[in-house]
Amino acid sequence: MLADKRILLIIGGGIAAYKALDLIRRLQDRGAHVIPVLTRAGEQFVTPLSVSALAGTAVHRDLFDLTSEAEMGHIQLSRSADLVVVVPATADLMGKMAQGLANDLASTLLLATDTPVLVAPAMNVRMWQHPATRRNVETLTADGVSFVGPTEGRMACGEFGPGRLAEVEDIVAAISAKLSEGPLLGKRILVTSGPTHEPIDPVRYIANRSSGAQGAAMARALRDLGAEVVFITGPASVRPPEGVQVVMVETAAQMSQAVEAALPVVAGVFAAAVSDWRVVNASDRKLKKSKDGLPVMQFAENPDILKRVSQMGKGRPQLVVGFAAETNDVIENATAKRLRKGCDWIVANDVSPATGIMGGSENAVVLISDQGAEVWPRMSKDSVARQLAERMAAALAQ
Ligand code: CTP
């Protein structure tokens, strides 16, 4: 819920501006008070009348508006909210923000504010990928600005790729996360997720059937309780959640490095299905069928990320949660695994094909801790994640 939260919504000039109208509605449904600001370019896409009618309040448009200045100066306006949200954030607006320009109402508010800022970019693929935009995103991130999206898809200009405005519900989730007052507020938690790919040659790899669904659900549930989530994911088939810091990796070695880089954290959830082995003699050329027989692959063991973090001594997260994918003797194997790895909890599940769990939307887990094994009923992966996140919040509060 966003009851009584004040959100200053800056609507930029892009075709996706119409989605800002839907966003106003959804934020109000959650009890938020939306103060709309429309840029000159934004007015080309949505009218001031529709914005103010939906918001139920006047829309701010001019830097030198005498009435507005007399009633509430732009400096005060920029600080009157709990969060400033820019939807859609155009390349131009982000450029101004990164440069500290203030030549219209929106850019002046963004420069004058002392409130957290969340931007939802939307622009043509090439514009998003242009080095200038890349630099601006980097600068804004370093300045503490949060991002939601863009996502990939077909765009109004007919091109395909990253640059689409995030879905409105994801923008709402990111706003809720920024304003969350949940029990994990301000706690940094890392989540690993998805499979890893271990190359055999440039076109082939070893992988597993993990979809990344349980890891993504964990990241969303922790985010919804207010945690600052670092989500380190292998090539999963589900989309990474919005409102979390996403680090994409391919191999176990890269995942291990990304985890090191994310430390310190108060808690770690290791939901990734990490490949136990990599091919040490992976070829840098595509392997060809040859008369000399079949290729011979040599394997080496990958770093055990969970074990390393669990046993790191100084700087160890307060709570380390592993997952155990088993196909038989689930409780016995997972109990032994908890001790072997040195983690605090193991969430064990039976992934034998008959259960339909791997790649499916449901999970039946056993939570193993120093208190023994607790069998949970079969439920959706989202419910498992929510309950686990609540248990983690309770454990971290002690
Ligand atoms: N894990 C990890 N790094 C690895 C292997 C596993 O961090 N190289 C983590 C997984 O993310 C999971 C837990 O360890 O949280 C258990 O993974 P699982 O594949 O069930 O266990 P393994 O260690 O691979 O043991 P085994 O293959 O013997 O079942």
Question: If DSSP states are collapsed to H, E and C, what string results for the chain?
Answer: CCCCCEEEEEECCCHHHHHHHHHHHHHHHCCCEEEEEECCCHHHCCCHHHHHHHHCCCCECCCCCHHHHHHCCHHHHHHCCCEEEEEEECHHHHHHHHHCCCCCHHHHHHHHCCCCEEEEECCCHHHHHCHHHHHHHHHHHHCCCEECCCEEEECCCCCEEEEECCCHHHHHHHHHHHHCCCCCCCCEEEEEECECCEECCCCCEECCCCCCHHHHHHHHHHHHCCCEEEEEECCCCCCCCCCCEEEECCCHHHHHHHHHHHCCCCEEEECCECCCEEECCCCCCCCCCCCCCCCCCCEEECCCHHHHHHCCCCCCCCEEEEEEEECCCHHHHHHHHHHHHCCCEEEEEECCHHHCCCCCCEECEEEEECCEEEECCCEEHHHHHHHHHHHHHHHHHC
Instruction: For residue 340, give Cα distances in angstroms to 185, 260, 268, 310, 368.
Output: 32, 21, 17, 10, 13
CATH code of the domain in which 169 resides: 3.40.50.1950
Domain that holds residue 196: 183-398
Tell me, yes or no, whether 166 and 224 share the same domain.
no
What is residue 304's predicted lDDT score, i.e. its pLDDT? 97
Per-residue model confidence (pLDDT) at position 310: 98
Dist CA 216 CA 238 (whole Å): 8
53 and 139: one domain? yes
User: Is residue 69 very low, low, confident or very high in pLDDT (cuts 50, 70, 90)?
Assistant: low
Contact of 320 with 343, CB cutoff 8 Å: yes
**How many A from CA of 337 to the centre of ligand 1?**
9
Residue 250 φ/ψ, nearest 5 degrees: -120, -50
- For ligand 1, pick from 274, 327, 352 the residue to mutate: most ligand atoms within 8 Å of CB: 274
Ligand 1, residues 206, 214, 276: which to mutate, most atoms within 8 A of Cβ? Answer: 276
Q: How far is the CA of 325 from the centre of ligand 1 (A)?
A: 8
Asked if residue 278 and residue 156 are part of one domain, the reply reads: no
pLDDT beyond 70 at 96: yes
Tens-place pLDDT, residues 322-381: 999 898 999 999 999 999 999 999 999 888 888 887 777 888 999 999 999 999 999 998
What is the number of structural domains in the chain? 2
Q: What is the pLDDT of residues 286-324, one digit of tens each?
A: 998 887 789 999 999 999 999 999 999 999 999 999 999
Nearest-CA residue for ligand 1 atom 12 is 323
Q: Quick one: 118 and 226 in the same domain?
A: no
Residue 373 sits in a domain of what CATH number? 3.40.50.10300
CA of 273 to the centre of ligand 1 (A): 7
Top mutation candidate among 257, 304, 351 for ligand 1, by most atoms within 8 Å of CB: 304
At residue 67, the pLDDT reads 64
Give distance in angstroms: CA of 304 to centre of ligand 1: 7
The total number of residues shown for the chain amounts to: 398
Q: How many whole angstroms separate alpha carbon 345 and alpha carbon 322?
A: 6
**Nearest CA-CA partner of 145 in 115, 167, 165:** 115
Question: Which pairing describes strands 319-326 and 267-270: parallel, antiparallel, or unpaired?
Answer: parallel
Residue 190 beta carbon below 6 angstroms from any ligand 1 atom:
no
Distance 197 CA to ligand 1 centre (A): 15
- Establish whether residue 304 lines the binding site of ligand 1, counting it when its CB lies within 6 angstroms of any ligand atom: yes
Same domain, 83 and 201: no
Give the burial string for 74-94 (b: 16+ CB within 10 Å, else e).
beebbeebbbbbbbbbbbbbb
**Same domain flag for 127 and 238:** no
Per-residue pLDDT tens digits for 190-247: 999 999 999 999 999 999 989 999 999 999 999 888 899 999 999 999 989 877 889 9
Same domain membership, residue 288 and residue 149? no
Query: What is the mean pLDDT of the segment spanning 127-141?
Result: 96
Q: Could you tell me if 152 and 259 lie in one domain?
A: no
For ligand 1, atom 4: residue with the closest CA: 304
Report d(CA 163, CA 151) in Å as an integer. Answer: 6
Please identify which residue in the block is written with the tokens 């997720």: 193
* Cβ(159)–Cβ(124) below 8 Å: yes
The reply to whether ligand 1 has any atom less than 6 angstroms from the CB of 211 is no
Out of 179, 214, 235, a domain closes at 179
Note whether 166 and 233 are same-domain residues: no
Q: From the candidates 157, 261, 339, 375, which is the catalytic residue?
A: 157
Are both 272 and 147 inside the same structural domain? no
Measured in whole angstroms, the distance separating CA 127 from the mean position of its chain's CA atoms is: 22
* Active site annotation includes 157: yes
Residue 242 confidence (pLDDT): 77
Token pair listed for 98: 């990164």
Domain-terminating residue out of 179, 202, 219:
179
Residue with CA nearest ligand 1 atom 20: 324
Same domain, 219 and 126: no
Instruction: Give the model confidence (pLDDT) of 162-204 as tens digits.
Output: 899 999 988 998 898 888 778 898 899 999 999 999 999 999 9
Q: What is the pLDDT of residue 204?
A: 96
324 Cβ inside 6 Å of ligand 1? yes
Q: Which of 179, 197, 218 is the last residue of a domain?
A: 179
Q: What is the mean pLDDT of residues 84-94?
A: 98
| CB 274 less than 6 A from any atom of ligand 1 | yes
Distance 161 CA to ligand 1 centre (A): 34
pLDDT of residue 62: 85
Distances (CA, A) of 74 to 64, 301, 356: 9, 60, 56
Phi, psi of 259 (to 5 degrees): -65, -45
Q: Both 391 and 287 in a single domain?
A: yes
Task: Confirm if 280 and 300 have CB atoms less than 8 A apart.
Answer: yes
Tell whether ligand 1 has an atom less than 6 A from the beta carbon of residue 195.
no
Residue type, 90: T
